Structures are given as structure tokens and as C-alpha cells.
Structure 1
Amino acid sequence: MAAALAFVVVLLAAGAGASTATTLTIHNLCPHRVWPLVTPNSGLPSISDNTAGLDPNALLSLSFPPTFWAGRVAARTGCDAAASGCWTGAAPPATVVQVTVHDGGNLDRAAYSVSLVDGFNVPAVVTPHAAAGGQCPALGCAADLNCDCPPAQRAAEGAACLGPPGFFKSRCPLTRTTPTDVEPTPQSCRGPGEIKVVFCQATIVTGAAADAEAMVIRSVVADS
């Protein structure tokens, strides 16, 4: 009897430490094609060959490994047919989604953020779905910051913006704009079945479009 109970305890412990499957979904809502760039942190496996281009409203679904994985997702624009040369996104300035999954053993934590530390090129919002528990807020920037980027900070002929951090933070508070910055919204997400990254989620612009200084941009959360 004692041996049988010990066997059950071992099985329960093994199940508690197992990671649930998690999918990375990338949704392009931009009015132009984007080429997602998914880069693992050093020493971790690649989950994409980074050759696919997404037309407007197209989706790309990728599988995270069942063990710890961390990396970055960016949107490249203006790429050639082989995605070997791109106008923006392959290097700074670029909007970067940072994702960590299957972290923390039994908690199976996920962590995510949208970083503008290296600049901005495309609006991006990240949202977990089908989470096992915890706080899983939508984070990121739905505003097109290129439209009123300070002239001295514009790059790639206006298709990207270098900053400054205060400009980014005032318009997109749910992003990270310096190496020590964090979002005001807490997160403690556990076991999401899907991490969804949306490029160019709808931006609401009010005010006189002809007057860039008068534009007021309000961010909205990702689609469901």
C-alpha cells in the first residue's frame, strides 16, 4: 500500500512540473506586408525560419518548445523576396516584443513586454490567451508613433522613429522605453495556451491631422 501511494505521489509531481503547450500567433493588421522576425535568446532553439511574409490580415502560428524559451519578435517591413534585405525591423530602430514561456517550474510562468528601447517601427500589442491563471494584461503600443515622431529622431525616411523615451512613454505607457523601465500594469501570467502578437492593431487618432503637434493618439488593446 505504501509503495502504491509513493508511486502516485511521483506521478503527481511529474505532472505538476510538466509544461503546457504554448503557441505563438502573429497577426498582421497593417495595411502593408510584414515579415515577422522571431529571434531566440542565446543557446535556445529557433522556432521560425523567418522567411514568411504576412499580407494584411494574415496569421502565422508557431509552436514554442515544451521547455523554457525566451526571445524577441519584431516586424520587418519593405523586405525583398527572400527577406534578406529589409527597410525596417531587421535592426534598430524597431519595435520589439519580448516573450518568455515555461519559466518557473510548477507555476509555468509566461512573461512578455513590448520594448521601444531600440526605437519604433510598427505598432505592436501582445496578449496571452487561454491562461491557467494569474494576471495576463494586454501590453504594448497601438499608436503609430511615426506620424508625429520628432523630425530629428526620424529614421528610414519616416518609416521608423528613434525616440526619445519620453515621447514614446507619453503616447504608449504600456511599453518599456528604457532598460530599467516597467509597465504600470502588473502581470503574473501562468500557463497561457497562446501568446498573440498583433502588428498595427487599430489606432484611434483625433484632432487635426494636418497639425502633427495637435494629434492625440489613444491606444487600444489587442483583438480577441
Structure 2
Amino acid sequence: MTAEEMNDYHGKLLFRALLIVFLLGAEAAEGARVFTIINYCKTTIWPGITPGNSFNGGGFPLKPGESVVFTAPVGWSGRIWGRTGCDFDRDGNGSCQTGACGSVLKCSASGQTPATLAEFTLAPLDFYDVSLVDGFNLPITVTPVNGQGGNCSSAGCDGDLRDNCPSELAVKVDGKTVACRSARKQRVCTYHINKLICSGSPGRRPSSTGKWLAVLLLGLASMWSSSWL
């Protein structure tokens, strides 16, 4: 699938999402996986990737509509997330409003929470998911291409959960909600493979957990497939 074909297919649906496409099967080098990261958001995103040796050092800017292609090495396992509101100097030093991996452009460590995570384990049988365990800072969708066998469907959503984030979980900058914290430290329910799963003590649940669950369920309206880990 070419970049033009992906734009035609996803352009209307993913108008606010960071799209990650990875190539499977015969078109990829034996054992390798080709990743295409496309920014369908309205603002510049700074993807963070760990380990990122094969991904431009683990960090780079991506303007609206731009895409970048990388080849992951055999057996690569890692995370991809988006950083927002960043300002870096020529030496790659700076800061981000969300998802920062310290004060550098090229990440060697995980991003600061809350942040939406795309997680991958590449092997003869590949695993991938979009996780809100560490909260939410922007929509991310993962789409495999040429997958054979199993359930090779897209994961993630293009809905912006910040729009309905409970006030006690919201991270704000200049009065604007830029991210939504996870309620996982409380008794929390998540949605996994069409089932509602709750963890923790069955005792009284703080109100923010119920509100966060409602936000997650609202997001399901635009979801294709996802793993809530």
C-alpha cells in the first residue's frame, strides 16, 4: 500500500490521529518490519520511540500531513508515542507539554505520563496494542498491512478523549486540557476484547474512576480494535 493510497483510505477518518502503519509479509525484508508514521493531527507532533536506534535516534518532529518510514530490526520490541507542545533548540534540548522523555528530542527512556502508547513485540507472531494505562494525550491508530492469519485488525481510535476528561484527571496548560491522567491507581475498569474488566478492591470507588470509564466508553464509538492493558 503506497502513502497515497493510505492517505486516500484514512484521510477523512483519521483527521486528528497519529497513524502508525507497519508492513508484514512478503513485501517486508525477511524478519524485518517497515513502519510508516503519519501525522493526521492539526499540529506538529514529536514522536518518541524506545528503543529508537533504528528510528532516527528515538525522536523527531512530524508536521501535519507529514510521514516518515523506518525499518525495525528483527525481534524489535518497543513503544511509540506522541509528544505535544514541544520546543527544542538546534542541539535537541528543550521541553514538551506532554510525553517528554526528559529534556531531549531523541528519546532513550520512556515518556512522561500521561501519554497514549502504541506497543509492539515483533516475532514470527507479532503483537501490538494501543494502551491508555498511562493516560491519554492524543489519538493513535496502528494499522498492519499484509498480515496473514490471526486478527490483524487496526488498533486504537481517532477520538480525542481530552474533550471529556474529568476535571480531577485533566492536565492543563493555559487553561486548555492537554492530557488526561489514568485512574489506574484507583479501582479502575477498562474495556478489553469486548468485555468490561475491573481490578482492585471491590470497595467504594472514587468518582473519578467512574468518569474515566465513561470517557473510555465514549471513545469506543470511533474504535476499530484495541487492547486496553
Q: Which residue of 1 aligns with 2:7?
A: none
Post-superposition offset of 1:45:
5.1
Q: Which residue of 2 aligns with 1:119?
A: 135
Q: Which residue of 2 aligns with 1:195?
A: none
Residue 98 in 1 paired to residue 135 in 2?
no
What stretches of structure 1 move > 6 A for 4+ residues in a row?
none
CA distance in 2, matches of 1:162, 1:60: 29
SS at match of 2:63: coil
- Which of the two has higher C-alpha Rg? 1
1:153 to 160, 169, 173: 169
Over aligned residues, Cα RMSD in angstroms?
A: 2.9
Residue 55 in 1 paired to residue 63 in 2?
yes
Q: Contact 1:100 / 1:111 at 8 angstroms: preserved in 2?
A: yes
What runs of 5+ residues in structure 2 fail to find an aligned partner? 1-28, 101-111, 196-214
CA distance in 2, matches of 1:130, 1:124: 20
SS at match of 1:142: coil
SS at match of 1:49: helix
1:77 to 84, 105, 117: 84
Q: Which residue of 1 aligns with 2:206?
A: none
SS at match of 1:163: coil
Q: Contact 2:156 / 2:223 at 8 angstroms: preserved in 1?
A: no
Label 1:168 to 1:47 Cα distance change in 2 as closer, same or farther (>3 A).
farther
Label 1:86 to 1:24 Cα distance change in 2 as closer, same or farther (>3 A).
same
What runs of 5+ residues in structure 1 fail to find an aligned partner? 1-17, 174-181, 186-212
Q: Contact 1:142 / 1:221 at 8 angstroms: preserved in 2?
A: no
| Larger relative contact order, structure 1 or 2 (CA cutoff 8 Å, min sep 6) | 1
CA distance in 2, matches of 1:69, 1:83: 27
Opposite residue 128 of structure 1, the aligned amino acid is P
TM-score for both structures, normalised by structure 1: 0.61
SS at match of 1:143: coil
Q: Which residue of 2 aligns with 1:37?
A: 48
Opposite residue 39 of structure 2, the aligned amino acid is N
Opposite residue 120 of structure 2, the aligned amino acid is V
Label 1:122 to 1:70 Cα distance change in 2 as closer, same or farther (>3 A).
same
TM-score for both structures, normalised by structure 2: 0.60
CA distance in 2, matches of 1:115, 1:83: 28
